[in-house]
Amino acid sequence: MNQAATSKRKKMGLLLFLTVLQCAISSVNTYSVSNPNVVLLIADDLGIGDLGCYGNRTLRTPHIDRLAKEGVTLTQHIAASPLCTPSRAAFLTGRYPIRSGMAAFSRVGVFLFSASSGGLPSEEITFSKLLKQRGYATALIGKWHLGMNCESNNDFCHHPLSHGFDYFYGLTVTNLRDCKPGQGSVFLKGVQMYLVILIQILGVTAVSLAVVHYVSFFKVPFEALGFCLLITCISLAVLIFFFYHFRHLNCFLMRDHQIIQQPLSYENLTQRLTTEAVRFIERNHNAPFLLVLSYLHVHTALYASKMFRGKSRHGLYGDAVEEMDWSVGMLILGQILDVLENYNLSNRSLVYFSSDQGAHIEEISSSGEVHGGCNGIYKGGKSTNWEGGIRVPGLLRWPGVIHAGTYIDDPTSNMDIFPTIVKLAGAQLPYDRIIDGHDLMPLLQGKVIRSKHEFLFHYCNAYLNAVRWHPRNTYIITGTAELG
């Protein structure tokens, strides 16, 4: 009898211990997924086939590959647009760019000039605004490309600081060939055809007037001939002035609202961006923080520091990819990891790595070198809605919260980051507008096995170009169907 009672007491004690342990674990897990630090790493024009974790065997990306090994790999991660400006607008707002007015009806779908009056509308709600309201320190380092001013050169209505970021260090426009001497021009070929037509029209007009005047068909005032010549000269002068001063007017580095380098220097630029990111985290380790590090790599003009130049097997493009991988290593798995460990923040930090769209596959430098990337087995690239233009890397790492080494094959979108981190921060999703993204945490933690995206819509600027259908209650994932 005594032995039976003793055995029963032991079992009850063990049951009580397991119950307390389960409560403790639940408490820890609840705490770990509340108000995490958020680090979002966005490459520019990086192809899904440029990374080792997505099958590349010749480019060295060990640190990004380690993110995949220690976290979740999204194999069907889709950018909301195959162009920089609309894709980044969708990423920040969780909405298709057509909803926010960031999809152009013209042929050019991105901002090209710092003097442009357009930009991300002030009424749009970004995840940085919502996290800032929840007490997060917020920073954007690197490329913005969503406008700067509205009506004057210092109202900063579209500037990152007007969209929820406490700190900004980077470019308000983008990295262009025109910003780097010797790399050619993205504008010259575009205006060359129109310039030739304009000169031809003006030339034919001037010659025709001169002939008519000479044969005395009717008298043409010399003022008219002089006016045609003047218009031609002024047009040429404006174009020459534009190309000569483009670097100074559009390629500059800012800290908050202040220009600190004009024109932009590419010397050790990636190291400078990485250092700024490290310092931001060190300054804000006592509070939750949001860091968006938006690389200039691998948008042209390509560049790499001396430490990486000529070291890859894929020319300057490969050098740039490997330098970016080094930065990720220094940021997440090197210096900053030490900072996170020192302040017991490692398991409270969600890290996301992706690209704003697929790699450009038609970029040729002025010297004839191919400056495009690899989109793996997928057709097309940047600026197209073929799979190579919109399927991008998607890696998420959060030790202790999401399972390492997991692959998710269901369709996801870069718009999903908005509701994911807003909910993790304890903020409310906006109720006065449609949010097209969906919270990824149930999928990342294995609580569900299907994405909530039944349809994903793909726009070419403001025009619906294709639709991806993921039928409910099936495991079929269709390809992208083009609309006629």
Whole-number Å distance between alpha carbons of 63 and 382: 25
pLDDT at 29: 45
**Residue 350 contacts by C-beta under 8 Å, 6 or more apart in sequence?**
36, 37, 38, 39, 396, 397, 398, 401, 421, 424
| Coil vs helix vs strand at 288 | coil
Give catalytic residue positions: 84, 145
pLDDT at 24: 43
Residue among 306, 294, 321 nearest 266 (CA): 306
Residue among 242, 247, 281, 249 nearest 266 (CA): 247
The predicted-structure confidence for 343-399, as pLDDT tens digits, reads as follows 666 688 999 999 999 999 877 777 777 788 999 999 999 999 999 999 999 999 999
* Kind plus residue range of the DSSP H or E element containing 415: none
The predicted-structure confidence for 407-431, as pLDDT tens digits, reads as follows 999 999 999 999 999 999 999 999 9
Please provide the DSSP assignment of 138-169 as one string: EEEEEE--S---SSSTT--TTSGGGGT-SEEE
Q: What is the pTM assigned to this prediction?
A: 0.86
**Residue ranges, the chain, pLDDT below 70:** 1-33, 188-195, 213, 216-220, 222, 224-225, 243, 333-346, 474-484
Burial category of 442 from C-beta neighbours within 10 Å (exposed 0-12, middle 13-18, buried 19 and up): middle
Residue among 300, 290, 348, 387 nearest 92 (CA): 290
pLDDT at 31: 37
Whole-number Å distance between alpha carbons of 440 and 394: 12
pLDDT at 362: 79
pLDDT at 296: 96
pLDDT at 190: 63
pLDDT at 116: 83
Please provide the DSSP assignment of 326-353 as one string: HHHHHHHTTHHHHHHHHTT-GGGEEEEE
Peptide bond into 72 cis (omega under 30): no
